């Protein structure tokens, strides 16, 4: 069954609404990061909290991407999940700067977002 034929074409707008909320959360994160730097507020040692902050967003885009691109979404998802372990292990060293060892997870994270954009554009008939 072709999911693009099952979902209503206007569902593409719903996906873009999810993306809009993701942009808003990213904006807020950048503002908080800038304030931390300006006021010299150190990062807390709570890797699980950061993962929970992005987990729901990731789940939404992972699911949307998987509807049309299941294998790609699965590979990108495995990259993201594995990176969260690397991120946490870096935090657990006691030096939060070592959390960047999990930065490769952005490949999986942004990958499912780009695939979700593709799904939305296909639903809207852009391509």
Residue among 61, 88, 90 at smallest CA distance from 77: 61
- Smallest CA-to-CA distance from 43 within 86, 87, 1 is with 87
What is the C-alpha separation between 40 and 36, in angstroms, rounded?
Answer: 6
Q: Given a cut of 80, is residue 120 above it in pLDDT?
A: yes
User: In the chain, what are the domain boundaries?
Assistant: 9-123
In 10 A of CB 80, how many CB atoms?
24
Shortest CA distance to 57 belongs to which of 6, 119, 108? 108
Q: Is the pLDDT of residue 44 over 80?
A: no
> Which whole-number Å values give the CA distances from 35 to 65, 69, 89, 93, in the listed order?
34, 38, 26, 25
Structure confidence by residue, pLDDT tens digits, 1-25: 699 999 999 999 999 999 999 999 9
Q: Can you say whether the dihedral through the CA atoms of 26, 52, 66, 15 is positive or negative?
A: negative
The pLDDT of residue 94 is 83
Q: How far apart are CA 59 and CA 62, in angstroms?
A: 5
The Cα-based distances of 125 to 6, 9, 121, 122 in angstroms read 14, 8, 6, 5
pLDDT digits (tens, 9 = 90+) for 48-82: 788 888 999 999 999 999 999 999 999 999 999 99
- Topology, domain 9-123: 1.20.120
Whether residue 93 contacts residue 121, with contact meaning beta carbons closer than 8 Å, is answered with: no
């Amino acid at each position: 069954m072709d999911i693009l034929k099952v979902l209503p074409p206007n569902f593409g707008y719903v996906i873009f609404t999810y993306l809009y909320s993701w942009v808003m959360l990213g904006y807020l994160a950048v503002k908080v990061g800038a304030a931390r730097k300006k006021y010299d507020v150190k990062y807390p040692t709570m890797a699980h909290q950061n993962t929970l902050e992005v987990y729901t967003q990731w789940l939404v885009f992972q699911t949307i991407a998987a509807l049309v691109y299941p294998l790609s979404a699965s590979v990108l998802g495995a990259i993201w999940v594995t990176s969260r372990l690397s991120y946490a292990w870096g935090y657990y060293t006691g030096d939060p700067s070592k959390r960047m060892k999990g930065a490769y997870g952005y490949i999986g994270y942004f990958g499912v977002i780009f695939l979700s954009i593709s799904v939305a554009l296909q639903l809207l008939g852009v391509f």
